[in-house]
Structure 1
Amino acid sequence: MTRGKIKLEYIANDAERKASFKKRKKGLLNKAHELCTLCGVQACAIIYSSYEPEPTVWPSELDAQHVISRFRALPEMEQTQRMFNQESYTDQRIRKSQEQAQKLQRENKIKDIEILMHQCMAGLLNLQNIPPNYTTEMGRLADQRKQDILARMEELQRIGVVNPQMEGNQVMNFPLVNPGSEVGFGWGNVPYGFDNTDHPGPSFSIPPGNTNAGSSSNPPENDAPGPSFRN
């Protein structure tokens, strides 16, 4: 039976706390010994506690003094290069979490733009009703998708799948996206390789009478809820 995850908090019971200290101190010294033996590095450990009158020094006081003296002889930059304490460790975790959050925000923004492009191409939205910052992003994304398509076409030409003499509509029949993605145009399909099956898309308010673009006079029976723009 596997042992449950230990909750990292102060042990209130004195007897349990003392027993845990002895057990973990022994484990820490064993790990230090393994580190020095297996990896060929110099290390020492000094442990203070209220249960013992003198600190525990490993491997010996003389060896510990040698390791500490060697460490203090290093330039300050090298001393602190890989040094960690609770504050620096927490700061590093916060920075990583912030970077991950920013990455997810960028990915979500791209998905929102792709869905807006799909809805515009399907005649569900009018470009005049979309804020300028979104239309700018749509233009950038369209340029990027165009470059992706051209790069894919070049790759297919290299392996002999696409004939350079083919017309454009013939080339577009080849899979330019991952297998399984829908390629089409219209309300029921994702246009030109955009796959939004996992992302319902943003919704925003459209003034009455301006929900359609192009010449289509028969909008879909079930209009998609309109996205609320987020800057």
Structure 2
Amino acid sequence: MTRPRRRVKLARIVNERKRKAALKRRKKALIKSLNTICVLCGAEACMVICDRTNNQGTHNKMVWPSKEQAEAMMSRFKSLPQEQREKKAVSNEMFLQSLLAKKSKKLESLRAKNNQMEMEEILHNFAIDPTSIEPATGKLTRLFLYINDLIAKIEENESMSQSATNVNLV
């Protein structure tokens, strides 16, 4: 029986031996994942991993699948026209903008849901005790607008269902 994986603490591993062992494991897992993507999706990919500098002052480089294949892929990529190379490219700024747009949309959705829940609570309290809402707070105005929106949605749904019924009858 395998144990569930623990959450990895993202911090530098101080122990040199443990750090090297972790790097070796991570490289192996990364290569396996990239190989799986290439086989399942029919994609071409290469990977270069540079370790820390060794005793001779040069970087330890690991190239997958091989240095020759990686160079061939890069030369094919560089021979493509600029427009085709950048076709699906995403800069950090573009990525962050799309992420911000998604989060803003999610925030707006949560605000709308929060507003709906608040209005439902006010309606519920109003049904129990009509004097529970003080007119000076502006809640009555918001409640009035919320109810008008609900009525408009109901009327829109009714008109859509009637037009669909009329189309089916014809």
TM-score bracket relative to the smaller structure: 0.5 to 0.7
Largest Rg, 1 or 2? 1
- Matching residue of 2:108: 102
Task: Report the alpha carbon displacement of residue 75 of structure 1 after superposing the two structures with TM.
Answer: 3.1
Distance of 1:22 and 1:96 partners within structure 2: 36
- Matching residue of 1:136: 145
Instruction: Determine what percentage of the aligned residue pairs are the same residue.
Output: 24
> RMSD in angstroms over aligned alpha carbons?
3.8
- Matching residue of 1:75: 82
Secondary structure at the counterpart of residue 11 of structure 1: coil
Question: Which 5+ residue runs of structure 1 have no aligned equivalent?
Answer: 159-231
Question: Would you say how many aligned residue pairs link Structure 1 and Structure 2?
Answer: 155
2:62 equivalent among 56, 63, 77: 56
2:118 equivalent to 1:112: yes
Q: Flag the 1:9–1:103 CA change in 2: closer, same or farther, 3 A.
A: same
String of CA shifts for 1:159-196, please: whole Å, max 9, x gaps.
xxxxxxxxxxxxxxxxxxxxxxxxxxxxxxxxxxxxxx
String of CA shifts for 1:132-151, please: whole Å, max 9, x gaps.
85133332222223444x36
Question: Greater helix share, 1 or 2?
Answer: 2
- Matching residue of 1:145: 154
Distance of 2:66 and 2:159 partners within structure 1: 64
Is the Cα–Cα contact under 8 Å of residues 45 and 57 in structure 1 kept in the other structure? yes
Task: Report the alpha carbon displacement of residue 126 of structure 1 after superposing the two structures with TM.
Answer: 9.4
Task: Write out aligned runs for 1:173-188 (5 A).
Answer: none
Task: Report the alpha carbon displacement of residue 77 of structure 1 after superposing the two structures with TM.
Answer: 7.2
- Matching residue of 1:12: 14
Q: Flag the 1:125–1:67 CA change in 2: closer, same or farther, 3 A.
A: farther
Is the Cα–Cα contact under 8 Å of residues 49 and 55 in structure 1 kept in the other structure? yes
Is the Cα–Cα contact under 8 Å of residues 49 and 61 in structure 2 kept in the other structure? yes
String of CA shifts for 1:99-157, please: whole Å, max 9, x gaps.
22221110121233344455556670599926385133332222223444x36985xx8
Is the Cα–Cα contact under 8 Å of residues 71 and 79 in structure 1 kept in the other structure? no
Question: Which 5+ residue runs of structure 2 have no aligned equivalent?
Answer: none
Matching residue's letter, 1:27: A
